[in-house]
Amino acid sequence: MATVGSLRSLSVAVGRISSGELQTRVPVESDNEVGDLAAAVNFMASRFEAGLAKERDLTESRREWGRSRFPRPAHAVGVHQGNAGESD
């Protein structure tokens, strides 16, 4: 019945990975098709995790580039200076 337990572990891990827990890994406990599948799931999860990290790095680099090329003017932050404190 080790195969049933291995499949349950694999199923739980795949559910976690699909919900965004990309750091999840499956123990490879056998040298058969179930073990091969567990290793493949681990490889897939590590590729997803690496791809997401790369995407985050690229997004942050683009933001930094945009901030350096197009800084926000000082008057764009806060209350419009021409109307501050005026009353009718």
Express as a percent the part of the chain with pLDDT over 70: 81
- Is there a contact between 45 and 20 (Cβ–Cβ < 8 Å)? no
Residues in the chain: 88
Phi, psi dihedrals of residue 73, rounded to the nearest 5°: -65, 150
Element (H, E) at 33: helix 33-69
Q: Would you kindly state where each structural domain of the chain is located, as residue ranges?
A: 31-70
Total-model pTM: 0.66
What is the rounded average pLDDT for all residues in the chain?
84
